[in-house]
Structures are given as structure tokens and as C-alpha cells.
Structure 1
């Protein structure tokens, strides 16, 4: 049983690593923002530790989301909102909201940052693991 879990985690990590590996091509409308310096919009307390899935999700977040949503999902002033915010608590923005945002993009409705484009190169499993990371950060910050 324990070896099955370890093997599964290694397979998931390998698939995600391959998915996030830079291939020299732009995969998102926001790939150009990596060099944008912007102040974080939230102070994010980090949990003492992350689950294995959240650790993998952090890698995915850093590769595909942090250029806009900031380090540890703290947001970037003038660019994108913090995901560690009460608005994104599970009862208001369920996990499926994140899935749809990545797959379809989002019309601005809570913030004045403009539309978020769909993000290419992520499948539902990738997004689920990234959500695990976001939810663990949220819980560490009292967002349940």
C-alpha cells in the first residue's frame, strides 16, 4: 500500500515536471509578465509543511500562475489578485471555479485587473494539484 502511494506520487511528479518543463515556446498570454516587478497585495502566512500533492502543486503554480498571481498566490499590484483572499474561499469559489478559469479564462467580476485568459498547457489533474497547494495556503491563512 505504502509503495503504491509512493509510486503514484513519483508518476504524478514526473508527469507534472514534464508538463511544466520549459520548451522555449510561449504557452500563455501572460508569459511576458515574468519580468514585471509588482508589490504583493496580500501577506501570506506559510504552513509549517505542505502535503506531497501541495508540494507538487507549488511547482505547477510557480511555473504557470505566479508570474501574474505572485509568489505564494499573494497577488501582484496592478496585474492580478491574490488567491489567498476570502473571495476565493471554497464556499464562494469552489475548485471547479479554478478549473474553469484555467480552461476558459475569466471575465473580471471581483477585481479591476481585467480579464484572465485561458492558460494553455495544463490539464484537469495539473490544475487539481495546483488547487491543493492554493487550498493549503488558504487554510494556513484562516480561509476555509
Structure 2
């Protein structure tokens, strides 16, 4: 009789354990990767004020760059990198790097997003203003 009760208790515990055991994590992580597509890659602090040139640059950025690089240059998961990042600090990627990226495109070299194509319709003065906007965002976030 004691043996029967013990076997029943073990069977019941096993059944309850099976029913309440969490499912496989790989399914959840796959779901997260799908829903995170396009999510911001960094959190930033916005500057209290933008210079006049940076305000003009923000309008240009929003119209030509934000679709890939995200609003306020925070990047987009699976799409394009954040520009408010130490990799794009002036000492590593000078202002001319932004000019060349827009005019000629860029081969992927820091991030796994693929190549950036050239962007049509932006003249050097436009890119100068956009770069000013990005630099002011960077400075507000401790990237000099």
C-alpha cells in the first residue's frame, strides 16, 4: 500500500512539473528578434537646444536618413546603425566621412547591416547641416 501511494505521489509530481515547466527559450528569443526588427539600438539624451544649422540638419536628417538610421540617429535593429555612437565620433569618422557616405555609399565595416547605398538628392551643404545635427546629438551624449 505504501509503495502504491509513493508511486502515485511521484507520478503526480512529475505530471505537475511537466505542465508548469517553462517552454523552450529558443522560441521566445526568435519571437523577440522578429518583434525587435526596427527597434532603436541606443537610448540617447536630446540636447536642450539645437543651433540654427542643426535645426536645418534635423529636417534634412528626418527626410533622408531617419528611415534607416532611426529618429534622432538611434539606429534601427536589423536596418542601420546608430550615428549617436562612439564609432562615429569626429576623431574616428570625420565630417568628410558623412559627405563621402552620402555621395558614394559605404561598404559595411563596423556593423552587420550590409552596405549603405549612395543617397541621391543631397548636396554637400545639405550633408554639412545634417552632420551638424548629428554632431550636436553626439555632444549631448558625451561623444566628442
| TM-score normalised by structure 2 residue count | 0.74
Unaligned runs of 5+ in 1: 1-36
Q: Which has the larger radius of gyration?
A: 2
- After the TM superposition, which residues 38-77 of structure 1 pair with which residues of structure 2 at under 5 Å, given as runs? 38-77=38-77
Structure 1 partner of 2:105: 105
Q: Using the TM superposition, give the Cα deviation of residue 44 of structure 1 relative to its aligned residue in structure 2, in angstroms.
A: 1.3
TM-score norm. by structure 1 comes to: 0.74
State the 1:38 CA deviation.
1.2
Is 2:86 the counterpart of 1:86?
A: yes
Structure 1 consecutive aligned stretches of length 4 or more whose deviation exceeds 3 Å: none
The alignment yields a C-alpha RMSD, in angstroms, of 0.7
Q: Which residue of 2 aligns with 1:33?
A: none
User: For 2:38 and 2:75, how far apart are their aligned partners in 1?
Assistant: 9
Q: Deviations over 1:14-41 (max 9, x none)?
A: xxxxxxxxxxxxxxxxxxxxxxx61000
Q: Return 5+ residue gaps in structure 2 as ranges.
A: 1-36
* 1:140 CA displacement: 0.1
Write 1 or 2 for the structure with the bigger share of helix. 2
Q: Is 1:136 aligned to 2:136, yes or no? A: yes
